[in-house]
Amino acid sequence: MPSSTPSKNLCRIALVIWIVSAGIVGWLFIKGKTTPSADGRTTVLLAPAERAFILTEMRQLLQAVHGIVTGMSDPDQTQGRAQAAAAARSAGMEMAADGNPALMLKLPLPMKQLGMSVHRDFDELADTINNEATSQDILQRLSNITTRCLACHETYQLKEG
């Protein structure tokens, strides 16, 4: 029987280490790698390549918005709607599929939630455009998306660190 006591102790130690590790990862998943900034926003600290990746993605989202607006303003509504739907789809969930786990741990949970909701809503917007919704409905949905973009920019800033 004495040989089982060291095994039990080893199992307990392993369990405690696992629980502590899971707690740390969970805390990082929620808080991210952040610090308060002087302007009241939350600073997200990223490696230079991670910051460049997110900024590139933001530019792609803005290009999608431009493609939607340009397409919807095209006098040839068939061609314009096709362009707008393709632009919306380009910013959908497929764009978010290549998420880097290390980067995701650095982003605070509300920022991740905003980003994912934006990608989901771009896919829904593409479907809405393809289903021949009114221009007013399309613009309202686009406005809802850009409201979240503004909220993110007003809440967070990206810095190398």
**Sequential pLDDT tens for the chain (161 residues):** 455 687 888 777 877 777 776 666 666 667 789 999 999 999 999 999 999 999 999 999 999 999 999 999 999 999 999 999 999 999 999 998 877 888 999 999 999 999 999 999 999 999 999 999 999 999 999 999 999 999 999 999 999 99
E strand spans, the chain: 34-36, 42-46, 156-160
Q: How far apart are CA 88 and CA 124, in angstroms?
A: 9
What is residue 19's predicted lDDT score, i.e. its pLDDT? 75
Long-range contacts (CB closer than 8 Å, 24 or more residues apart) made by 70-74: 72/129, 72/135, 72/138, 72/139
Nearest 5°: CA angle at 144, between 31 and 96?
A: 50
Burial class (CB in 10 A: 0-12, 13-18, 19+), 11: exposed
| Whole-number pLDDT of residue 13 | 81
- Confidence at residue 133, expressed as pLDDT on a 0 to 100 scale: 95
d(CA 157, CA 132): 37
Whether 45 contacts 111, CB under 8 Å: no
The overall pTM is greater than 0.85: no
Tokens at 33, concatenated? 């790698």
The predicted structure's pLDDT at residue 7: 81
Is domain 33-160 given the CATH code 1.10.10 in the classification?
A: no
